[in-house]
A and B are shown apart, each in its own frame.
Chain A
Amino acid sequence: MELGPYILLASLEGAVTAAVLALTAVGLALVFGVMRVVNIAHGEFFMLGAVIAWWVAQTVGGHPAIGFAAALVIAPLAVGGIAAAADMTILKRLNYDPERTIVATIGLLYILQQLTLMTYGPEARPVEAPFNQRIALPWIEHGESGWQVIWPWGLGTTSYKLAVIGAACVVLAGVWLMMARSRLGLVMRATQADRDMALAFGIPVERVYALVFGMGAALAALAAVLIVPIQQAHYLMGADPLLLSFIVVIIGGLGSLPGTVLAAVLIGLSDGIISVFFSPTLAKIIATLLVGLVLVFRPEGLFGTRRR
């Protein structure tokens, strides 16, 4: 195979990473943007989503699609509920103090991780994809008889991977619509702009916070349900999404949703391409280096606005 098809293949793998990363990172950005809370436990909500997806698929049985569909609904709701409860019982009592919430979410990270180890165990378990046809992709090549379409061996993807990309786009569009057009989004943006004034104009800020924290976690869980047929559920799987989400949120501009999505595509694609041609470790090194550069030369992120 020549270089061209290789790059296409790597980009497709990268696009799947980018799709899942964008969902996870938007969850983190939403929580940071509205609540100014740095949620270190975000990766564990991702992990919980995958583990609950496995559990639901196991319990439901029958055709893989039924279990998967059930997991797609139940896992984000359950994880969102857990997160909202954590917000009301822990973060609210700390008055959302920036330093103390970091420590509290670190604690939450270990609690969730160890509880999963104690109940679910240390095994990595797969969830069967609801559908998984192989799709061969064509490539255009200049051969003896001019330009021709060929089907290089090994150049292909699966219908499920394309569905993951599609689903992520739909959900992200939904989040954007909610923030930009709905009454709830308006209330959330007002709370983000000025918490005290939101209170002074009748917005139940505590309820908004619980909802946002739950929503952020639910997005991570949803991303995990989408990836678990490709990656398997494991109690330590939250570390990578957490690191990458932070990288993406910082590059994109703290709390800026469009910036976060764009940075996720950038990091996801480059992660896919560099992983295929060199090594996954190099991809992480470059991404982390990029964060360093962004912090030095553009501290507000690529798309962020300077805060007062």
Chain B
Amino acid sequence: MLELDAISAGYGKAQVLRDFSLSVGAGEIVCLLGRNGAGKTTCMKAIMGLLPLMSGRVLLDGQEVSALPAHHVPRAGIGYIPQGRRLFAGLSVAQNLEIGLQARGSGRDTLEEVLELFPRLRERINQRAETLSGGEQQMLSTARALCLRPKALLLDEPTEGLQPSMIEAIRQVIARMRTAGVAVLLVEQRVDAVLSLADRVAFLENGRGGAVMDAEDLRADHSIVDRYIGV
């Protein structure tokens, strides 16, 4: 279980996230919704330790990961799929996955499982990451995070700029992670892409946590979403 306990974070002196609390259970998909600049990506970076917390704690299965140096956070079991993929350019598909495997000492069997999920990557295993198509890059970014065998998975706009078939492929993988008992925290701008997938939806407004509700209710009454996102 991933727990955010009143975390505040920001860039330099500019505070973006204010006392934000949220918990994501194992085998649950929580979607974080909010307008541009609400602090969604900041929240992800803060969990990963890439931004220092101004206050609050991040807990993973009771372990205080926010007390660890940044490079120990993934080792504790948090996989990160950042916005814009952020692959290791110049490295091949295999090498990108190798970095993911190294983080928690995962073995060949993990690699096989991940390639099973993304057969396209196996075909391009020796190709340089930056030469892949947008969809394949997103697959690689996802596969790299899965190589950690994460207990919690953070996805920052995974469907951005993808064609529908790719979005569907990514959605299926996310759903499989839920079945495997991973705590999934998902950031999306496009509500419809995730509403059918999420178990709960948390709203973020100007860096503060808003309502947290069951996705079921939102699917029934779409007006709540419109109020928060203001489409």
Contacts and interface: CB of A to CB of B under 8 A. Distances in A.
B88 A189 contact: yes
Interface stretch (A86-94, A121-129, A156-164, A200-208): A200-208
Interface stretch (B96-104, B162-170, B204-212): B96-104
* A interface majority secondary structure: helix
Contacts of A183: 102
Contacts of B219: none
Given A197-B82, A199-B50, 10 more contacts: A183-B102, A189-B88, A189-B91, A190-B91, A196-B86, A197-B88, A198-B99, A199-B70, A201-B102, A201-B103
A194 interface: yes
Contacts of A190: 88, 91, 95, 99
A187 B103 CA distance: 11
B71 interface: yes
Contact of A200 (B82, B91, B104): B82
A204 B98 contact: no
A193 interface: yes
Interface in B93-121: 95, 98-100, 102-104
B44 to A, nearest CB: 10
Nearest to B105: A202
A162 B159 CA distance: 59
A193 B74 contact: no
A106 interface: no
Interface string A170-201: 00000000000001001101101110111111
A194 B144 CA distance: 14
Contacts of A197: 82, 86-88
A186 B91 contact: yes
B71 A205 contact: yes
A203 B48 contact: no
Nearest to B85: A197
B50 A200 contact: yes
B90 A200 contact: no
Contacts of A201: 74, 80, 99-100, 102-103, 144, 148
Given A196-B50, A197-B86, A202 B72 contact: yes
A74 B94 CA distance: 38
Contacts of B100: 201
Interface of A: 183, 186-187, 189-190, 192-194, 196-205
A203 B82 contact: no
Contacts of A196: 50, 86
Contact of B89 (A187, A193, A198, A199): A193
B49 A199 contact: yes
B75 interface: yes
B71 A186 contact: no
Given A200-B82, A201-B99, A193 B90 contact: yes
A184 to B, nearest CB: 11
B101 to A, nearest CB: 10
Contacts of A199: 48-50, 70-71
15 contacts: A187-B102, A190-B99, A193-B91, A194-B88, A194-B89, A197-B86, A198-B99, A199-B70, A200-B73, A200-B74, A201-B148, A202-B71, A202-B72, A202-B104, A203-B103
Nearest to B81: A200
A205 B69 CA distance: 11
A187 B148 CA distance: 16
A254 B91 CA distance: 18
Given A186-B98, A197-B82, A202 B88 contact: no
Contacts of B91: 186, 189-190, 193
Interface string B57-83: 000000000000111111100001010
A186 B50 contact: no
Contacts of B95: 186, 189-190
A45 B8 CA distance: 43
Nearest to B90: A193
A288 to B, nearest CB: 30
A164 B217 CA distance: 76
A154 B70 CA distance: 62
B6 to A, nearest CB: 23
Nearest to A307: B89
Contacts of A194: 86-89
The 8 closest A-B pairs by CB, nearest first: A202-B103, A193-B88, A202-B74, A199-B70, A190-B88, A200-B80, A197-B86, A202-B75
